[in-house]
Copies of this chain bind each other. A is one copy, B any other.
Amino acid sequence: MIKLDKTLSKDVSMELFEFGDNILLKHHIKNANEIKPFLEVNHKFWLNLCGLENDHLLKEISELFAIHPLTLEDIKNTSQRPKFEEFDENIFVVAKMIYHKNKAHGPITEQVSILFGKNYIISIQENPYDIFDPIRTRLENPVGKMRKMGTDYFAYTLLDAIVDKYFDCLENAVEKIETLEDQIISQSKKTKLPEIFQQRKTIQQIKRNVWPTRELLSAWKKSESPLIKKKTNPFINDVYEHVIEIIENLEIQRESISALVELFMSNLSLKQNEVMKTLTIIATIFIPLTFIAGVYGMNFQFMPELGWKYGYLFIWILFLGSTLAMVYYFKRKKWF
């Protein structure tokens, strides 16, 4: 599947930000050779690559930055679990971003690989989604921390932007769950089960990505690599706390959904009970009456009651009495 053309395919785009305390230059890069010179200048740079289709390019980059073949495979394999790996020269992080293209559908998961060394940060996205826009904005600020602090701080800001997206997705799900809850408690008519199950799937999808992200951050916190400076710690702690908060919220939402399903099912049972009662009351009252009417509709030649003067009146008294007795019985049984 290796494409040998050295130009970028349509689906792959690269941008390189060269930056220092007093400088910010944006370069559009076409191939790996153009990156080489930046490795030797004094400034730091951020290379953002969108699209994994150009195998040749990825291979060249991996050679340029001495990336282990297994790491390259992790970058290409978009179902890679989030993880944190230290090497001698750089640190490699796989993260998953999650976002809604369309609020009506479930969220989309995409892989972001981050590699940072002493003076470079590389981020590799699957598609050119705008998740890093706020970072570009912050980078333009000449007095912000982005330019002054190390590449580890830069990598932190990327992770922070990714984790913020989890909050968005979670909030979206919470909102929908609360709407469903209101609908179920107020017992409006439509079936909502598939919608509940849709939200359960979303919660599960976030959970599936956020758990390994926690492990990733935990590994970062424990890391003793010289690339990770002590003063970045409070920031990583901060993201870590956000992730813990998301995890706890997911658990709460999971329980809410279970309670919702339970409530839905018990509402259904309550309604069915009511339906059964209605049927039973009507049937229990009228079936015996119909029988009595049937009796006096028989054509026997000798049926003395038929000739009685007050027979018909008497039969109506029987009908009404029987009905009242039944109604009293059901009242006492608290059926209505």
State the A residues within 8 Å of B (CB): 68, 70, 79, 81, 83, 185, 189, 191, 193-194, 197, 200, 204, 208, 211, 234-235, 238, 241, 244-245, 248, 252, 255-256, 259, 261-273, 275-280, 282-284, 286-291, 293-303, 305-309, 311-312, 315, 319, 334-335
Contact B303 A79 (CB under 8 A): no
* Contact of A299 (CB < 8 Å), options: B81, B275, B291, B299: B299
Interchain CB contact (< 8 A) of A279 among B248, B283, B315: B283
The reply to whether B291 and A312 contact each other, CB–CB distance below 8 Å, is no
In the bound complex, what is the Cα–Cα distance between A48 and B81 (angstroms)? Answer: 33
Cβ-defined partner of A306 (8 Å) among B267, B301, B306: B301
CB pair B303–A312 under 8 Å, yes or no, is: yes
Minimal beta-carbon separation of A215 from chain B (angstroms): 10
Which chain B residues lie closer than 8 Å to A70 at the CB level? 234-235, 238
Oligomer copy total: 5
Please list the 5 inter-chain residue pairs (A to B) with the smallest Cβ-Cβ separation, ordered nearest first: A293-B294, A296-B298, A279-B280, A297-B297, A300-B312
Whether A298 and B293, one on each chain, are in contact in the complex, defined by CB atoms closer than 8 angstroms, is: yes
The A interface is mostly helix, strand or loop, or mixed, namely helix
Query: Contact at A189–B68, with CB atoms within 8 Å?
Result: no
For A193, give its contact among B191, B255, B267, B272 (CB under 8 Å).
B267
Whether A299 and B302, one on each chain, are in contact in the complex, defined by CB atoms closer than 8 angstroms, is: no
A243 to B298, CA, bound (A): 78
Among candidates B272, B277, B288, B309, residue contacting A302 with C-beta atoms closer than 8 Å:
B309
Q: How far is the CA of A68 from the CA of B284 in the complex (A)?
A: 73
Are B266's CB and A193's CB within 8 A?
A: yes
What chain B residues lie within 8 Å of A293 (beta carbons)? Answer: 291, 294-295, 297-298
Residues of B close to A265: CB separation below 8 A: 266, 269
Chain B positions within 8 Å of A283 at CB level: 279, 282-283, 287
- Residue in A238, A300, A307 with the greatest tally of chain B CB atoms within 10 Å: A300
CB atoms of B276 and A282 under 8 A apart: no
Smallest beta-carbon distance A237→chain B, Å:
8
Q: Tell me if A299 and B303 are in contact (CB < 8 A).
A: yes
A185:B194 contact, CB within 8 angstroms: yes
Query: Across the interface, which residues of B come within 8 angstroms of A211, CB to CB?
Result: 248
**How far apart are the CA atoms of A308 and B298 in the complex, in Å?**
13
B270→A273 contact, CB < 8 A: no
Q: Quick one: given A248-B208, A252-B208, A273-B268, are A287 and B298 in contact (CB under 8 Å)?
A: no
CB distance from A133 to the nearest CB of B (A): 21
